[in-house]
Structure 1
Amino acid sequence: MSEDRLSVTDHSRDSAGLRYVYPVVSRRAGGVSIGINLNPNNACNWRCIYCQVPELIRGTAPPVDLALLEKELDGFLHELQHGDFMRRVPPEARRINDIALSGNGEPTSAQEFAEVIELIARYKPAGLKLVLITNGSLMQRDSVQQGLRRMAQLDGEVWFKLDRASEAGMALVNDTRLTMDRVSQNLTTAISCCPNTWLQTCWFALDGAAPGAQDEDDYVDFLKGLLRGGIRPQGVLLYGLARPSMQPEAARLSALPAEWLEAFGARIRALGIEVRVSA
């Protein structure tokens, strides 16, 4: 394993020298997150313009070597708990916070997704949180729903991406053509399978301009529509840019002042929805 000191600004998938498992010092989690990367081919069905994955391609996760994943997860958990890996971590973050399915593409695109959740269930220490970070676009798959229901039994959390709440905004930021009706259906499915589902929203400036009043109104109106339909996410994880994009638009992106995020968060809280802001 590399001996470099880990930080919140470097989420390298190679820092542990493994194929599927990697450590992240998470500013939102406040500790070490054990990342599971099911997309080592850097393939995703979306192309978010703030994505930190280099050489990102359109596609799906390759077949998962479940035996190798099991070996890596078991070994890395042992190293974190009984080895000296934590000395590479800043002292204030020397705790294991969660196991997070994220990585270099959409994790639910793996055909073995439900099997991966079962594998994690066998090794996850009691009390350790399990998180799925997803764009939510593949919720119609039986294997995804099966995996999410198993996550619910494990007190797992789903972080469902919603960076903009209009079709034009999603096309611009996420390079996807999903309709908002489909997003609403996917989110409803996620919540029904795993009630502890949060929205995760990246708020940033593009070409020096912050998201406009229409972007905020679209987002708030989308949430109002959910609430009217009896659909309530656990809350919103609202965050800004912390690491540089590896996409062609990188030079056009910039972080917003923390007070801007807080002001938008206040509009969401006014709906009775919890908001956690990470500038």
Structure 2
Amino acid sequence: MSKVLNIYDHDRDSAGMAYVYPVISRRAGGVSVGINLNTNSACNWRCIYCQVPDLKRGGAPELDLIKLAGELRSFLRELLQGDFMQRRVPAEAQRLNDIALSGNGEPTSAREFVQVVDLIGEIMAEFDLIRKIKLVLITNGSLIQRAKVQEGLRKMAGLGGEVWFKLDSATANGMRRINSTRQTVEKMHGNLRTAALLCPTWLQTCVFELDGQPPAHVEREAYLKFIGRLRTEGVPLHGVLLYGLARTSMQPEAGRLSALPQEWMLNFAAEIEKQGVAVKLSC
């Protein structure tokens, strides 16, 4: 018997397909149709809260676009015209919210990224979904400087899409500790600015306790300063998707992580809002 979906389980194999998988998204508030371009579980970052088992360093493999298209068409047909919602989705979440380029690694590492966006756009048109649901890119933003990625973002904007750009820390030490990357804050800033100018962009920020301690004061201040700088420079940021831990990490640091108290999350959200930025909070 097929299990009912819930926000705590984002199993990429839940629909038995290679590229397409459904999830109940806390941030989306309904069914999100995930597109997993990183079927090799490879990513150029290694976030310590990542739920991907056997995660390794690298980029997306060569994609079978015909298979991806077939899976997406088939699943949307079942979702919109079949009984999938009734069988697999809780009543309160029985709405299609988005198609999300996400999965087991950084989706913009796929060489076929632009073709994937084109393909999804064609299929959304077939099902009369353009500007009725979102096309979302969930990204760490590290490859936005690439011309092909920027072309993909322009095409996404034309489809009414949006970018969820990861920013868990605005310090070099924090990014190394949380995301296992040596990317600089300035590169992060530049790539975020580029993304926001090409396609509607939200920051997505995961906060948690590490070794029983919340993010340090210096981390919170650097984050707020980063947000303030974006506002001063007129970067058209749509807001911040602030969220805590809901699923178990599959990384070696899992035992060191724990959820923050709701009061801490609410206070941090209020501090961000004081910078003039909208916040959507998922504790």
**Coarse TM-score class (shorter-chain normalised):** over 0.9
Gaps of 5+ in 1: none
Equivalenced residue count is 277
**Equivalent in the alignment of 2:269:** 265
Give the Cα separation in 2 of the matches to 1:232 and 1:164: 20
TM-score, length-scaled by structure 1: 0.98
Per-residue displacement from partner, 1:145-200 (whole Å, max 9, x unpaired)?
Answer: 00000011111110000001100000000000011110011101101111x10000
**Equivalent in the alignment of 2:7:** 8
Give the Cα separation in 2 of the matches to 1:156 and 1:66: 20
Task: Please say if 1:99 is aligned against 2:92.
Answer: no
Task: Please say if 1:276 is aligned against 2:275.
Answer: no
Per-residue displacement from partner, 1:92-134 (whole Å, max 9, x unpaired)?
Answer: 1111110001000000000000110000001112311110000
Counterpart contact for 2:197–2:236, Cα < 8 Å: no
**Equivalent in the alignment of 2:36:** 37
Which shows bigger deviation, 44-53 or 148-157? 148-157
**Equivalent in the alignment of 2:234:** 230
Tell me how far 1:230 sits from its aligned partner: 2.0
Tell me how far 1:85 sits from its aligned partner: 1.3
SS of the residue corresponding to residue 46 of structure 1 reads coil
CA RMSD of aligned residues (A): 0.8
Per-residue displacement from partner, 1:212-232 (whole Å, max 9, x unpaired)?
Answer: 111110001111122222223
**Corresponding residue to 2:172 among 167, 175, 184:** 167
Matched AA of 2:147: D
Give the Cα separation in 2 of the matches to 1:62 and 1:129: 25
**Equivalent in the alignment of 2:58:** 59
TM-score, length-scaled by structure 2: 0.96
Task: Please say if 1:150 is aligned against 2:155.
Answer: yes
SS of the residue corresponding to residue 234 of structure 1 reads strand
**Corresponding residue to 1:245 among 249, 254, 261:** 249
Q: Percent identity?
A: 60
Matched AA of 1:138: L
Return structure 1 stretches of 4+ with deviation > 6 angstroms.
none
**Corresponding residue to 1:129 among 103, 115, 134:** 134
**Equivalent in the alignment of 2:111:** 111
Matched AA of 1:63: E
SS of the residue corresponding to residue 72 of structure 2 reads helix
Give the Cα separation in 2 of the matches to 1:98 and 1:275: 19
Matched AA of 1:37: N
Matched AA of 1:248: P
Tell me how far 1:265 sits from its aligned partner: 0.8
Tell me how far 1:6 sits from its aligned partner: 1.1
**Corresponding residue to 2:186 among 181, 190, 203:** 181
**Equivalent in the alignment of 2:212:** 208
Per-residue displacement from partner, 1:41-87 (whole Å, max 9, x unpaired)?
Answer: 00000000000000000000001111001000000000001112111
Gaps of 5+ in 2: none
Matched AA of 1:251: G
